[in-house]
Chains A and B, each alone.
Chain A
Amino acid sequence: MSRARTTRPRWRLPLRFAVLGYLTILILLPVGTVFYRAFQHGLGVAWDSFTAPDALHALWLTLLVAAIAVPLNTAFGVGVSLILARHRFPGAWLLDAFVDIPLAISPVVIGLGLILVYGKTGWFGNWLAARGITVIFSLPGIIMASAAVSLPYVVREVLPVLQEIGTEQEQAARTLGARPLSVFWRITLPNIRRGLAYGVTLTTARVLGEFGAVAIVSGNIVNKTQTLTLFISTSIDNLDPNSAYVGAVALCVAALLVLTLLTVTDRRRSEWHTKATL
Chain B
Amino acid sequence: MAHEGDPVSIHVEGISKRFGDAVALDDVSLEVETGSLTALLGPSGGGKSTLLRIIAGLDTPDTGVVRIEGEDLTTTPARSRGVGFCFQHYAPFRHLTVRRNVAFGLEIRRRPKAEIKARVDELLELVGLSHLGDRYPSQLSGGQRQRMALARALAIEPKVLLLDEPFGALDAQVRTQLRQWLRDLHDTLHVTTVLVTHDQEEAMEVADRLAIINHGRLEQVGTPADMYDHPANEFVLTFLGPATRLGGQWVRPHDLALHHDEGARPTPDAVPGTVSRITHLGFEVKVDVTLDDGACWVQLSRGTAADLGLAPGQRVWVVRTESTGPASEPETRSESAHDGEPEATEAARVSAAAQGGA
Near A by CB (< 8 A), chain B positions 78-99 give 78-81, 83-85, 87, 89, 91-96
Please state if B77 and A275 are interface contacts (CB–CB under 8 Å). no
Do A171 and B95 form a contact, CB below 8 Å, given A176-B108, A182-B108?
Answer: no
**A169 contact from B56, B58, B80, B91, Cβ within 8 A:** B91
Please state if B138 and A278 are interface contacts (CB–CB under 8 Å). yes
Please state if A168 and B89 are interface contacts (CB–CB under 8 Å). yes
Please state if B83 and A175 are interface contacts (CB–CB under 8 Å). yes
CA distance A174 to B104 in the complex (A): 11
Chain A interface extent, by class: 20 to 34
CA distance A191 to B108 in the complex (A): 18
Contacts of B85 in A (CB 8 A): 171-172, 175
Please state if B139 and A275 are interface contacts (CB–CB under 8 Å). yes
Return the chain A residue nearest B135 by Cβ: A275
Contacts of A175 in B (CB 8 A): 56-58, 78-79, 81, 83-85, 153
Q: Mark A222-250, 1 if CB is under 8 A from B, else 0.
A: 00000000000000000000000000000
Interface centre among B58, B94, B95 (most CB of A within 10 A): B95
**A177 contact from B91, B92, B109, Cβ within 8 A:** B109
Interface of A is mostly: helix
Please state if B139 and A172 are interface contacts (CB–CB under 8 Å). no
A188 CB to nearest chain B CB (Å): 11
Do A171 and B78 form a contact, CB below 8 Å, given A177-B108, A177-B156, A182-B108?
Answer: yes
Number of B positions contacting A (CB below 8 A): 31
**A276 contact from B91, B136, B152, Cβ within 8 A:** B136
Contacts of B78 in A (CB 8 A): 171, 174-175
Near A by CB (< 8 A), chain B positions 41-96 give 56-58, 77-81, 83-85, 87, 89, 91-96
Do A171 and B152 form a contact, CB below 8 Å, given A176-B105, A178-B79, A275-B136?
Answer: no
A214 CB to nearest chain B CB (Å): 38
B85 CB to nearest chain A CB (Å): 4
Q: Mark B135-151, 1 if CB is under 8 A from A, else 0.
A: 01011000000000100
CA distance A10 to B194 in the complex (A): 63
CA distance A205 to B196 in the complex (A): 50
A186 CB to nearest chain B CB (Å): 8
**Which 9 residue pairs of A and B lie closest in terms of their CB atoms, listed nearest first?**
A168-B91, A176-B105, A276-B138, A172-B91, A190-B95, A175-B85, A174-B78, A177-B108, A272-B95
Report A's interface with B, CB cutoff 8 A: 168-169, 171-179, 182, 186-187, 190-191, 193, 272-273, 275-276, 278
Report B's interface with A, CB cutoff 8 A: 56-58, 77-81, 83-85, 87, 89, 91-96, 104-105, 108-109, 136, 138-139, 149, 152-153, 155-156
23 contacts between A and B (CB under 8 A): A169-B93, A169-B94, A171-B58, A171-B85, A172-B149, A172-B152, A173-B104, A174-B58, A174-B79, A175-B83, A175-B85, A176-B152, A176-B153, A176-B155, A177-B109, A178-B79, A178-B108, A191-B95, A193-B95, A272-B95, A273-B94, A275-B139, A276-B138
